[in-house]
Amino acid sequence: MSKTKYVLYYCVSCNKETKMGVVGTMEGSENKVWYRCTRCHHSTMIDISKRPSDSVIKFIKEDCTSYSPERSYTVGELIYHNTWDDMGKVTAKEKTSSGGRAILVSFEKLGSRRLIENLAAE
Ligand SMILES: [Zn+2]
């Protein structure tokens, strides 16, 4: 699970949107994440709690797991929904009223959606 996550973010040094890898989070404040530009290696801190709703950080499709109801996901995992052609981040996990399991996903275009996970494959 230590796979490096990448985001597209505006690099002040390159003066353009570049691919950035996560360096680490700030001690005691997990909303502040250090990213390093893969082009110029300039590090920048992004406060993900202040992320505007029109999404400065864009997910990169290759870093997303394709969504499938049979799979189970972890909070923070990036997923790609084939039918909706949208990428999102798992923000929470919960139980459904029928005793199943669901994930809450914050999608780039669609916003927050609840999806079934860990569906028993019959
Ligand atoms: Zn850069």
Question: Cα(38) to centroid of ligand 1, in Å?
Answer: 7
In this prediction, residue 51 carries a pLDDT of: 57
Residue range(s) defining the domain that contains residue 29: 6-59
* Residue 8 banded pLDDT, cuts 50, 70, 90: confident
Cα–Cα distance, 3 to 36 (Å, whole number): 15
Place of tokens 């999806």: 115
pLDDT, one tens digit per residue, over 44-83 is 888 877 655 444 566 777 788 999 999 999 999 999 999 9
CA 31: distance to chain centroid?
Answer: 13
Give the Å distance between the CA of 81 and the centre of ligand 1: 30
Domains in the chain, number: 2
CATH number, domain of 23, equals: 2.30.30
Residues bordering ligand 1, an ion, CB closer than 5 Å? 11, 13-14, 18, 37, 39-40, 42
The fraction of the chain above a pLDDT of 70, given in percent, is: 88
For residue 113, pLDDT beyond 50: yes
Q: Is residue 1 part of a domain?
A: no
| More confident call, 25 vs 53 | 25
